Amino acid sequence: MSSIARSLRRHLLAGLLLVLALSGLGMWLIVRRAMITQFDSTLLAKARLLATMVTEELAEGSAFDLDKISLPEFERRNNPEYFQVWSPEGGVLVRSPSLGGGDLTPPRPAGSAPVVWNLTLGSGRPGRAVALTWAMHREDEDEGPEDSPQPPTSSVRLALALERRSLDAALASTAEALALGGLLLFLGVPLLVGRAVRRGLRPLDEVAGQAARIDATSLGRRFVTDEVPEELRPICGRLNDLLERLEASFDRERRFSADVAHELRTPIAELRSIAEVALRYPDAPAPPVRTFEDVLGAAVHMQELVTTLLTLARCESGRQPVSLEPVDLGRICHEVWAAHERVAADKGLRVWPGTVGLVMVDGDPVLVGSVVSNLISNAVEYTPPGGEITWRLDREAGHGIFVITNSNASLQASDLPHLFERFWRKDDARTGATHGGLGLSLTEAFVRLMGGQLRVELPRPDQVRVELRLPVRPFLAAGHVPVMGAS
């Protein structure tokens, strides 16, 4: 595929050269017609003046005599003029001395209009002539009575010819000037087009240069949008957005690799230590049951980690099966909360659960149960002893809403954007935590698959509020449905 610059130059050159050629041809035709019209006007004016002289002579009843009139232009040797007069009968009344014995033979007239034509004069030079035909009658010396019939009119023809050497020279000069101007334009237009294309595409070249300098190690670069033309600003803005997403994605992948290595390092180190001890002391008695429990715990931890990661991968690729159906969100919340009541009581938590009611949402029963279980277990685990947990159900704008609020002073506003990232945990909670940092990531992926929303905020510095919104089917949203309220 040819470049934009070559394509622009090719099309602009073809278009401009065609316009110039047509403009030059049109200008030549207009100037040529104007010069020929001017020459013909001069020729016709002289012919009419000569016709007036002939009419006066013939009206007196005498033959046209050149000796009576001084007409030097018809007698000179250099560039003479030519004329000839025919009688009504077709005979030659008079011809100019410049014709010698030749004739000016006009084409057949069409009425009384002047006839103009090109011809070759007796000298062999090109000329241009005009022929006039007009009606006249002779006045007799002894006029009859006033009521006597007038003599019939007769038609007289006159032809006048001039050499067109001056006209041809003027036309040739005009043609040469137009040709020279056209040649200069034909030579200059490619230079101007090339310069204009290079100058016009310079911002695009600069953007391409900036893009060429960006690689996987320099995703922090951004395209300058203030110094580019308006046409390129949306493109640069979109590219900046793409670079920002790519940079964030690369950062997540790097953190993901580091976090996976970190999470797998401990169980793998445990398994390796047990194996090394067993190999170092082959004659030792059988290991105690505690050893096998440690091996099983490490294997289960790694299995859960891998299973969760595979589930996340299926969610992100759209391969996670989802079966949407009406789900009683209130019943699921009540069942999940019942499974965590004892742990909450052991920690001395003050709990304000919502009363059981009916809030039907459109979701996958298994995924909804997993989401609610993860949110409640997080709240119970991360609420400090003696803290408070409140949860409720509601319905609003076509969504079923589950809100759980718990005491937690360890989170800050800057932590909220990272809560749904894989393996993210507060530094002081990483060591020895029972959660692997994938629960909220998986929860957020499940909610997104069901078309819902998950939002976390800090109403107070010591309080965390999580809101789950799941869509409600239209026929359910239209009726009156009782909902849970806080007690």
Rounded Cα distance, 239 and 411, in Å: 34
Helix (H) or strand (E) run with residue 70 in it: none
Residue 106 confidence (pLDDT)? 80
Residues of the chain above pLDDT 90, percent? 18
Query: Which ranges of 287-408 would DSSP assign to H, the alpha helix?
Result: 289-317, 329-346, 365-382
Q: How far apart are the first and last CA of the chain?
A: 71
pLDDT tens track for 221-238: 888 888 788 888 888 888
| Residue 484 banded pLDDT, cuts 50, 70, 90 | very low
Rounded Cα distance, 393 and 109, in Å: 108
More confident residue, 309 or 445: 445
Q: Return phi, psi of residue 467, to 5°.
A: -120, 125
Rounded Cα distance, 219 and 226, in Å: 20
Domains located in the chain, CATH noted? 4-137+154-172 (3.30.450), 233-317 (1.10.287), 325-477 (3.30.565.10)
Rounded Cα distance, 390 and 410, in Å: 18
pLDDT tens track for 302-339: 776 677 667 766 766 667 788 888 999 888 888 888 88
In this structure, are strands 399-407 and 360-363 parallel, antiparallel, or unpaired? Answer: unpaired
Residue 35 confidence (pLDDT)? 94
Helix (H) or strand (E) run with residue 351 in it: strand 350-352
Residue 173 confidence (pLDDT)? 94
Q: Other C-beta atoms within 10 Å of 26: how many?
A: 10
The 3-state DSSP class for residue 464 equals strand
